[in-house]
């Protein structure tokens, strides 16, 4: 009797407290939609253009929260385990389990071990009111207020909303909050995939989040018993020991491969936008293309380093741009696990461009009407004055091809003809063109000199790929975009670098497989079965290997090498970057077929024959007004430093302007000579003059050198200066004044010349 009286008093007291708490409870709790909207993951997400998650980066270090999980995406086992362990009559009561509350109150009066009766709904109201990281004993007044809030919540929320919010807000082990974070960190899977054992463990952690594995195992086993699945208790201790010992992953993801899908791009976006926890940033990247490019790069580098090859190449990068919009569709900054410097973003790293700059050089020369694609250039040994010595370019295969057309020179990537072309254009003007294309040259063209034709300047893969995009867009350079622009934003007007006509003509060369056969053969990765224009490049000592080109819709750039700058072993343009490039453009062509562009109005096509069958007859493209029917072989090879020679004009073949001669102290001064030679085709009556003193009309002069700076002139038959060079003699072994002039073949060897490094 006495016990019944006490029990009634407890219930009456609780009812009175509930009555007073009702008004405040009704006004304090948010709606389900508000709770859902206010939820913030501890990470910010980088999304592809279609919304697929590319990368997660943790920002909030105070707690570990994943994405909000809908109840439909929670495994049935977990829903059952939570109800069984926390609130058996969840689907029956209206927020407060009166039977459980009365039983708990009665037990707490007569038992030394207290017992709680909080329902899932009551616990949720506490999570909505309090910091979910803190919990503790509540007074009867607080319990009553929580019960009143639960009653109100049940009247305004559905049962599925209550359970969904509870699973997302409840704190678990350590810093983990919410089922998503727990499932991914502890079990490495999404909540939808939790089985009975994992669900029981998760439910056990709600009551004792930081308990040792033994206690969690015991409680989980009791939950499994209530779920009528006692068989899962076997081995549960060992399972929990392994789960707790496993280090938490750096990112909340179910796939380790996806963790590295776009890490470098994500860092770039983070530096630009500084996203906060829970923010979702949509990019221009195409997720399937990004994954394909990454996998292709990894697979190719793995093959190059297989025991049968051992090419010593571990890094690479891929960029894909949309020609029309400039959107970045793929950005693979590293080879990932293959790299010893995986954090280096090779898309933005400065590397030597190699032969990839040649198309821009020929486009400028064609635009300036200095060349056509049928103009003959002499691929023969060449030395040019360069600062403190001579610049002596070599071809990739150390061989020379003789007279070849500009089309063949560009298509086969021959170096000497490119340098001869730069002599016509001048390094200064070509440097300005490259800067206008957006290439990050740190100096003007004169600083690089003639080596600029062969790519001595440092560029980034992104800037180089976008420069090729300018060719694809008819010679107009525009910026790239890695984040979507508003629908009302008009595309930038861009900067015209080349005429549409010159850009088209160079594109016909880059898409001409016949033009590159002298170097690459007929069958190479560059020879696609669809329209594409492409160029390779390899820097000095094989430190950088490039392949950049475009289809009618996309521009693709690939770089392979080593981030530490060490050289590769026997990796050329067609074995390193080109297979990756070919695979990526092939993938793009399957999505959107590539078709050749229509010729602009300012170009004409004409049939051309070559004298002495220097090259086979063919149809070729010209700027209107520059077309010819027959190409004659020039009678005078001349000196390439001043461009095409004029027949009959006296020219100095040797020495070249700027040469530095060093006298050898081990050779008697009287035995050392410097030869002065006229270019073939110069009139026989042309005369020499050194430092203002006549030297006669001898065809070849063997001059006894004298230290100092000298000016050598060649006069035409009328006594006018036709050509002039300046050179310097260093050393002090010759103790006489300038000696007599000797004819060609005089005894003695010419002083050594030190070439400048290219």
- Which three-class secondary structure string do you get for 579-619? HHHHHHHHHHHHHCCCCCCCCCCCEEEEEEEEHHHCCCCEE
Q: What is the mean pLDDT of residues 497-524?
A: 94
- With a cut of 60, say whether residue 12 has pLDDT above it: no
Which range has highest mean pLDDT (1-5, 12-16, 592-596)? 592-596
Q: So what CATH class is 2-30+70-245?
A: mainly alpha
Residues above pLDDT 70, as percent of the chain: 82
Q: Which helix (H) or strand (E) holds 577?
A: helix 577-591
The token pair that represents 504 in the structure block? 């088209």
Residue 653 is predicted with a pLDDT of: 77
Q: How far is CA 487 from CA 281, 322, 323, 491, 550, in A?
A: 17, 17, 18, 10, 26
Q: What is the pLDDT of residues 255-276, one digit of tens each?
A: 544 457 899 999 999 998 999 9
Across 108-122, 686-700, 725-739, which has the greatest mean pLDDT?
A: 686-700
pTM: 0.75
Q: Do β-strands 752-753 and 176-177 pair in parallel, antiparallel, or remain unpaired?
A: unpaired
3-state secondary structure of 636: coil
pLDDT at 77 over 90: yes
Band (pLDDT 50/70/90 cuts) for residue 158 is: very high
For the segment 545-565, the average pLDDT, to the nearest whole number, is 96
Between 127-136, 340-349, 682-691, the lowest mean confidence (pLDDT) is in 127-136
Work out the pLDDT band at 420, boundaries 50, 70, 90.
very high
Q: What is the pLDDT of residue 14?
A: 53
Q: What pLDDT shows up at residue 310?
A: 80
pLDDT at 747 over 50: no
Q: What is the pLDDT of residue 179?
A: 92
pLDDT of residue 733: 45
Residues of the chain with CATH 2.60.40.10: 646-756
Cβ proximity of 480 and 330 under 8 Å: no
Mean pLDDT of all residues in 364-371: 94
Which pLDDT belongs to residue 735?
A: 40
Q: Is the pLDDT of residue 673 over 70?
A: yes
- The answer to which of 97-101, 229-233, 350-354, 357-361 has the lowest mean pLDDT is 97-101
Residues above pLDDT 90, as percent of the chain: 48
Query: What integer is the mean pLDDT of 298-320?
Result: 89
Whether the predicted pLDDT of 328 surpasses 90: yes
pLDDT in tens, 463-510: 999 999 999 999 999 999 999 886 556 767 899 999 999 999 999 999
SS3 category, 176: strand
Q: Are 31 and 239 in contact (CB under 8 A)?
A: no
Range list for CATH 3.40.710.10 in the chain = 351-613
745 — pLDDT class (breaks 50, 70, 90): very low
Confidence at 136, pLDDT banded by 50, 70, 90: very low
Question: For residue 104, what pLDDT is reported?
Answer: 56
Distance CA 179, CA 199 (A): 10
Query: What b/e sequence results for 302-324 when a residue is b if at least 16 CB atoms lie within 10 Å of its CB, and e otherwise?
Result: eebeeeeeebebbbbbbbbbbbe
The span from the CA of 259 to the CA of 251, in Å, is: 7
Please state which CATH number belongs to domain 351-613. 3.40.710.10
pLDDT of residue 668: 76
The answer, yes or no, to whether the previous bond of 395 is cis (omega within 30 of 0) is no
> Which is nearest to 166 in space by CA: 262, 276, 36, 290?
36
Per-residue model confidence (pLDDT) at position 287 = 95
Average pLDDT, the chain: 83
Question: Is it the case that residue 612 has pLDDT exceeding 70?
Answer: yes
Q: Is it the case that residue 639 has pLDDT exceeding 60?
A: no
- Residue 121 near residue 25, CB atoms below 8 Å: no
- CA 300 to CA 564: how far, in whole Å? 19
The CA distance from 641 to 657, in Å, is 9
The whole-number pLDDT of residue 678 equals 83
pLDDT at 654: 79
CATH architecture of 646-756: Sandwich (2.60)
- Rounded Cα distance between 501 and 366, Å, is 9
Band of pLDDT at residue 24, cut at 50, 70 and 90: low
Residue reference for tokens 């049968």? 308
Task: Say what the pLDDT of residue 161 is.
Answer: 94
Q: Which ranges in the chain are annotated with CATH 1.10.3810.10? A: 2-30+70-245
Would you state the pLDDT for residue 557? Answer: 98
- On the question of pLDDT at 666 being above 90, the answer is no
């Amino acid at each position: 009797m006495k016990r019944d009286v006490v029990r009634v008093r407890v219930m009456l007291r609780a009812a009175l407290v509930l009555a007073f708490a009702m008004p405040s409870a009704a006004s304090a709790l948010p709606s389900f939609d508000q709770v859902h909207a206010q939820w913030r993951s501890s990470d910010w997400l980088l999304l592809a253009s279609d919304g697929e998650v590319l990368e997660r980066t943790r920002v909030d270090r105070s707690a570990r929260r994943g994405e909000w999980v809908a109840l439909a995406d929670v495994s049935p086992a977990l829903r059952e385990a939570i109800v069984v362990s926390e609130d058996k009559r969840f689907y029956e009561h209206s927020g407060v389990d009166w039977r459980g509350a009365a039983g708990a109150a009665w037990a707490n009066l007569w038992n030394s071990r207290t017992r709680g009766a909080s329902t899932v709904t009551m616990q949720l109201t506490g999570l909505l009111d309090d910091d979910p990281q803190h919990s503790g004993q509540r007074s009867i007044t607080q319990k009553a207020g929580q019960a009143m809030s639960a009653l109100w919540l049940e009247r305004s929320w559905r049962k599925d909303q209550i359970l969904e919010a509870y699973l997302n807000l409840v704190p678990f082990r350590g810093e983990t909050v919410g089922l998503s974070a727990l499932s991914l960190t502890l079990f490495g899977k999404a909540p939808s995939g939790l089985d009975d054992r994992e669900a029981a463990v998760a439910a056990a952690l709600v009551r004792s989040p930081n308990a040792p594995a033994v206690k969690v195992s015991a409680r989980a086993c009791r939950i499994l018993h209530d779920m009528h699945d006692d068989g899962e208790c076997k081995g549960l201790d060992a399972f929990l020991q392994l789960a707790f010992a496993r280090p938490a992953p750096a990112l909340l993801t179910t796939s380790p491969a996806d963790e590295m899908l776009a890490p470098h791009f994500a860092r770039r976006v983070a530096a630009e936008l500084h996203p906060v926890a829970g923010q979702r940033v949509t990019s221009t990247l195409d997720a399937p293309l990004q994954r394909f490019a990454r996998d292709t790069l990894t697979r190719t580098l793995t093959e190059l380093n297989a025991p049968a090859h051992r090419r010593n190449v571990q890094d690479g990068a891929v960029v894909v741009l949309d020609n029309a919009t400039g959107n970045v569709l793929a950005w693979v900054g590293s080879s990932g696990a293959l790299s010893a410097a995986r954090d280096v973003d090779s898309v933005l790293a400065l590397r030597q461009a190699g032969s990839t700059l040649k198309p821009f050089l020929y486009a400028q020369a064609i635009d300036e009407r200095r060349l056509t694609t049928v103009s003959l250039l002499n691929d023969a040994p060449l030395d040019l004055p360069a600062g403190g010595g001579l610049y002596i370019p070599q071809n990739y295969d150390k061989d020379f091809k003789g007279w070849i057309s500009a089309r063949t020179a560009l298509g086969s990537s021959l170096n000497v003809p490119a340098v001869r072309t730069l002599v016509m254009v001048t390094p200064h003007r070509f440097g300005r063109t490259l800067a206008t294309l957006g290439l990050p040259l740190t100096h003007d063209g004169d600083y690089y000199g003639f080596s600029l034709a062969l790519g001595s300047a440092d560029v980034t893969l992104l800037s180089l790929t976008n420069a090729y995009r300018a060719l694809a867009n008819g010679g107009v350079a525009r910026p790239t975009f890695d984040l979507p622009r508003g629908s009302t934003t008009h595309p930038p007007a861009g900067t015209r670098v080349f005429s549409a006509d010159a850009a088209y003509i160079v594109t016909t060369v880059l898409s001409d497989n016949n033009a590159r056969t002298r170097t690459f053969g007929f069958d190479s990765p560059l020879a696609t079965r669809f329209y594409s224009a492409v160029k390779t490049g390899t820097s000095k000592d094989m430190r950088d290997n490039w392949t950049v080109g475009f289809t009618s819709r996309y521009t693709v750039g690939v770089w392979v090498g080593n981030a530490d700058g060490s050289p590769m072993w026997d990796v050329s343009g067609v074995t390193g970057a080109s297979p990756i490039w070919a695979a990526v453009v092939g993938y793009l062509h399957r999505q959107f077929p590539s078709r050749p562009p229509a010729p602009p109005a300012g170009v004409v096509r004409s049939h051309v024959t070559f004298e002495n069958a220097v090259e086979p007859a063919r149809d070729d493209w010209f700027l209107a007004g520059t077309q010819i029917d027959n190409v004659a072989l020039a009678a005078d090879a001349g000196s390439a430093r001043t461009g095409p020679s004029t027949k009959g004009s006296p020219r100095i073949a040797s020495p070249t302007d700027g040469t530095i001669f060093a006298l050898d102290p081990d050779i008697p001064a009287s035995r050392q000579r410097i030869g002065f030679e006229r270019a073939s085709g110069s009139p026989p009556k042309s005369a020499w003059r050194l430092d203002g003193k006549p030297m006669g009309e001898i065809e070849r002069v063997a001059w006894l050198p004298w230290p100092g700076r000298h000016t050598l002139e060649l006069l035409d038959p009328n006594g006018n200066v036709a050509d002039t060079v300046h050179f310097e003699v260093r050393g002090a072994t010759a103790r006489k004044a300038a000696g007599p002039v000797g004819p060609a073949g005089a005894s003695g060897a010419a002083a050594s010349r030190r070439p400048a490094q290219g």
